[in-house]
């Protein structure tokens, strides 16, 4: 592909940035009454309203022309068909096959991967039913009541987010817990109240070499042994999810207790595989299938809908416009659905590990900003924390507001209050409040002219803050599946436009290598390695102080 910045649509978009910065979004509504109808769409159970963005018909036409010029349709086909589009790792990208409920063949090197996917799903189903129905028992013959998932990054964030989000659909048979951090506090706190006879550990690691996960798995094993005193207990209390069979075996987990992952599933796109075991164990296999079905429906939408009615494409284009062209480099995710409290953390890995890159597919430095900084938390709590910044700071932060028409846990009188805030915030962020309006309001309260003058600049809200609104019918397994897939495809579209490889993550390796080098320095009394002046002194100080604290 030619350098994306030289494409006609890119060049045309550049000419539109000044006007977009100068025209308030609310003025665009005044110019075009049909804006909502034109700039919103329904995808499965999700309404996406992107009308509160600084785009007009001409800008949108350029943005849509750009996705055509970069060959998105071709890239999309290549992904669905199992081409090795993860070029730096020479891998296909086939998380869509994991939820391919139509079961149409997907060939990789002449082999239909659906056979392996279906085989593994059947194993997951049997296993989940055995645990949930009490046929799978611990070493002393007791039922399993608690599942502890040990994994990090993509082997943690997805299942952790989904099990939290779908708790209202769970029964009380199995409680799920997550341990990701190598800070011993997490595993110690998690295990303290649990009974080893009733705990099942899922060691989830695609590589089965990740230091945090392996350390926690070993600690969990020791904990089990301190109660069972018999190595054979491991078979009853440990299962693995990995693509590294040899390492799983070396850990002592039998092949029949090991679930497969494939190199064509990226960690951050893996919750649809056996990495989703905690989800299926908590909710039952049927609900897990619902989640897969929702994602599959979004896959079909992404694959089949024209770009101008395609939710992932439009969501991506709003981010592209706001960040790369208008220079708003961070993006906040604001769910107004309590169960989605880990959604921003999940998206942070999905988006930032995928698109936080600075060279293109052939290794040339790209001259534009890629991946936005993703952050956020529950919107209603954010209102009493950082919304001040969103409304009145000098930095414009585009926001995604996510809410539901119906609460998954209705409590009389609550949902309307929550949603009143949801709607109020996007309105306030766009419209702001002008000096004239503030002056009128203060005069109405009886303030003197002097007082009004003093207070006025502090109370003005500039507005003109872009937002997307995603309104779900209800946060159920199917809709959540669709919502996650919507964002996955958004990430893919952005990667295609930015011409970067969204499916590798080389940027996490250097820190891991250095940590492995520093570890023996911390374990030994002397022998600090050669580091920069700051790091070397910090390590020395740490060790000296540690000795003092011991004495
Ligand atoms: O450190 C980054 C990363 O490689 C992620 O991409 C991945 O999701 C996570 O670590 C965990 O890796 P694994 O599943 O191999 O333990």
Identify the H or E element spanning 472. Answer: strand 467-474
Please check whether residue 471 is in contact with residue 46, taking contact to mean a CB–CB distance below 8 angstroms: yes
Alpha helices in 242-310 (DSSP H): 245-251, 277-283, 285-304
Query: Which of 115, 129, 102, 103 shows the shortest CA–CA distance to 277?
Result: 129
Q: Which residue has the higher pLDDT, 252 or 150?
A: 150
pLDDT of residue 299: 98
Where does the pLDDT of residue 551 fall: very low under 50, low under 70, confident under 90, or very high at 90 and above?
confident
CA dihedral 302, 303, 304, 306 (to 10 degrees): 60
Q: Is 286 a catalytic residue?
A: no
How far is Cα 286 from Cα 270, in angstroms, rounded to an integer?
18
Span of 186-190, 384-388, 524-528 with lowest mean pLDDT: 524-528
Residue identifier of the C-alpha nearest atom 1 of ligand 1: 508
Report, as an integer, the average pLDDT of 211-232.
96
Given the residues 256, 384, 509, 548, select the one marked as catalytic. Answer: 384
What confidence tens digit (pLDDT) does each residue in 422-467 have? 999 999 999 999 999 999 999 999 999 999 999 999 999 999 999 9
**Residue 530 pLDDT:** 86
- Identical topology for domains 4-69+305-431+465-504 and 95-289: yes
According to DSSP, residue 137 is labeled B
pLDDT digits (tens, 9 = 90+) for 392-419: 999 999 999 999 999 999 999 999 999 9
pLDDT in tens, 469-494: 999 999 999 999 999 999 999 999 99
CA of 505 to the centre of ligand 1 (A): 9
- The closest residue, in CA terms, to atom 13 on ligand 1 is 205
Residues touching ligand 1 (Cβ under 6 Å) are 152-155, 205-207, 210, 213, 267-268, 353, 505, 508
Write out the CATH class of domain 95-289: alpha beta
CA of 267 to the centre of ligand 1 (A): 6
First vs last C-alpha separation in the chain: 64
- Parse the chain into domains and list their residue ranges: 4-69+305-431+465-504, 95-289, 511-550
Centroid of ligand 1 to alpha carbon of 215 (angstroms)? 14
Q: What is the DSSP string of 21-85?
A: HHS-HHHHHHH-TTHHHHTEEEETTEEEE-TTSS--HHHHHHHHHHHHHTTHHHHHHHHHTT---
Q: State yes or no: pLDDT of 161 exceeds 70.
A: yes
Share of the chain above pLDDT 90, in %: 97
pLDDT at 527: 67
Best CA proximity match to 248, nearest among 282, 224, 213, 196: 213
Length of the chain equals 551
Burial of 127 (0-12, 13-18, 19+ CB in 10 A): buried
Question: What gap in Å lies between CA 413 and CA 238, rounded to an integer?
Answer: 45
> Does the pLDDT of residue 319 top 90, yes or no?
yes
CA 213 to centroid of ligand 1, rounded, Å? 10
Topology (CATH level 3) of domain 511-550: Phosphoglucose isomerase, C-terminal domain (1.10.1390)
**pLDDT of 524:** 80
Atom of ligand 1 nearest to the CA of 207: 15
Kindly report the protein residue whose alpha carbon is nearest to atom 9 of ligand 1. 153
The ligand 1 atom at the shortest distance from the C-alpha of residue 353 is: 6
Mean pLDDT of the chain: 96
pLDDT tens-digit map of 356-370: 999 999 999 999 999
Phi, psi of 200, rounded to the nearest 5 degrees: -115, 125
pTM of the shown model: 0.97
Show Cβ contacts of residue 216 under 8 Å, excluding neighbours closer than 6 positions. 150, 179, 180, 182, 186, 187
Cα(266) to ligand 1 centroid in Å equals: 9
Site to substitute for ligand 1 among 210, 242, 258, 261, most atoms within 8 A of C-beta: 210
Q: How many helices (H) and strands (E) does the chain have?
A: 24, 13
Fold of 4-69+305-431+465-504: Rossmann fold (3.40.50)
Parallel, antiparallel or unpaired: strands 40-43 and 107-108: unpaired
- What residues have CB less than 8 Å from 231, skipping those under 6 apart? 225, 252
> Going by CA atoms, what residue is nearest to atom 6 of ligand 1?
267
Q: What atom of ligand 1 comes closest to residue 213's alpha carbon? A: 16
Is 384 assigned a catalytic role? yes
427 carries an active-site annotation:
no
Q: Left (φ > 0), alpha (ψ -120 to 50) or beta: where does 402 sit?
A: beta
57-104 pLDDT, tens per residue?
Answer: 999 999 999 999 999 999 999 999 999 999 999 999 999 999 999 999
pLDDT given at position 1: 60
pLDDT tens figures, 1-58: 668 999 999 999 999 999 999 999 999 999 999 999 999 999 999 999 999 999 999 9
| Residue nearest ligand 1's atom 5 by CA | 153
What's residue 76's pLDDT? 98
Return the residue matching tokens 């936080």.
356
The average pLDDT across 267-274 equals 98
Residue 490 near residue 179 (C-beta atoms within 8 A) = no
- 120: pLDDT confidence band, cut at 50, 70 and 90? very high
Instruction: Please name which of 316, 307, 328 lies closest in space to residue 17, comparing C-alpha atoms.
Output: 328
């Amino acid at each position: 592909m030619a350098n994306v910045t030289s494409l006609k649509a890119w060049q045309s978009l550049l000419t539109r940035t000044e006007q977009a910065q100068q025209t308030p979004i609310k003025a665009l509504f005044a110019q075009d009454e049909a804006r909502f109808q034109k700039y919103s769409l329904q995808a499965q159970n999700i309404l996406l309203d992107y009308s509160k963005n600084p785009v007009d018909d001409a800008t949108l036409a350029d943005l849509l022309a750009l996705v055509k010029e970069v060959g998105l349709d071709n890239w999309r086909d290549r992904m669905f068909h199992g081409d090795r589009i993860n070029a730096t790792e020479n891998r296909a990208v086939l998380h869509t096959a994991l939820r391919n409920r139509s079961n149409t063949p997907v060939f990789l090197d002449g082999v239909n991967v659906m056979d392996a996917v279906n085989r593994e799903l059947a194993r997951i189903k049997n296993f989940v039913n055995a645990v949930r129905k009490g046929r799978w028992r611990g070493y002393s013959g007791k039922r399993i009541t608690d599942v502890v998932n040990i994994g990090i990054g993509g082997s943690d964030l997805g299942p952790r987010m989904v099990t939290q989000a779908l708790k209202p659909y769970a029964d009380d048979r199995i409680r799920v817990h997550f341990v990701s951090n190598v800070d011993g506090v997490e595993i110690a706190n998690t295990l303290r109240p649990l009974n080893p006879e009733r705990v099942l550990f899922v060691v989830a690691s695609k590589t089965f070499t990740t230091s945090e996960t392996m350390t926690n798995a070993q600690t969990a094993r020791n904990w089990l042994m301190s109660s069972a005193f018999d190595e054979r207990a491991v078979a009853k209390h440990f299962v693995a999810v990995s693509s590294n069979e040899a390492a799983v075996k070396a850990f002592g987990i039998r092949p029949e207790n090991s679930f497969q992952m494939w190199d064509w599933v990226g960690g951050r796109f893996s919750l649809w595989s056996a990495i989703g075991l905690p989800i299926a164990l908590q909710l039952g296999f049927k609900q897990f299938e619902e989640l897969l079905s929702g994602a599959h429906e979004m896959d079909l939408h992404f694959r089949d809908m024209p770009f101008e009615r395609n939710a992932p494409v439009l969501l991506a284009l709003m981010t592209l416009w706001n960040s790369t062209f208008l220079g708003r480099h961070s993006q906040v995710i604001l769910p107004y659905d309590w169960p989605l409290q880990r959604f921003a953390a999940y998206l942070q890995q999905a988006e930032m590990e995928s698109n936080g890159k600075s060279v293109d597919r052939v290794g040339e430095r790209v001259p534009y900003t890629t991946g936005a900084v993703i952050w956020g938390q529950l919107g209603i709590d954010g209102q009493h924390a950082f919304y001040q910044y969103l409304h009145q700071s000098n930095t414009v932060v585009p926001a995604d507001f996510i809410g539901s028409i119906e609460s998954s846990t209705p409590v009389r009188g609550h949902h309307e209050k929550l949603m009143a805030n949801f709607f109020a915030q996007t309105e306030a962020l766009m419209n702001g409040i002008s000096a004239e309006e503030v002056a009128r309001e203060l005069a109405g309260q009886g303030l003197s002219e002097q007082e009004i003058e003093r207070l006025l600049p502090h109370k003005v809200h500039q507005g003109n803050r872009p937002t997307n609104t995603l309104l779900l019918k209800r946060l159920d397994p199917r809709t959540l599946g669709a919502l996650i897939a919507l964002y996955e495809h958004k990430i893919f579209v952005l990667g295609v436009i930015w011409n970067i490889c969204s499916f590798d993550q080389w940027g996490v390796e250097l820190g891991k290598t250095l940590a492995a080098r520093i570890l023996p320095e911390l374990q030994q009394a002397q022998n600090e390695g050669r580091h920069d002046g700051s790091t070397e002194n910090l390590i020395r100080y740490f060790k000296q102080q540690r000795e003092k604290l011991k004495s």
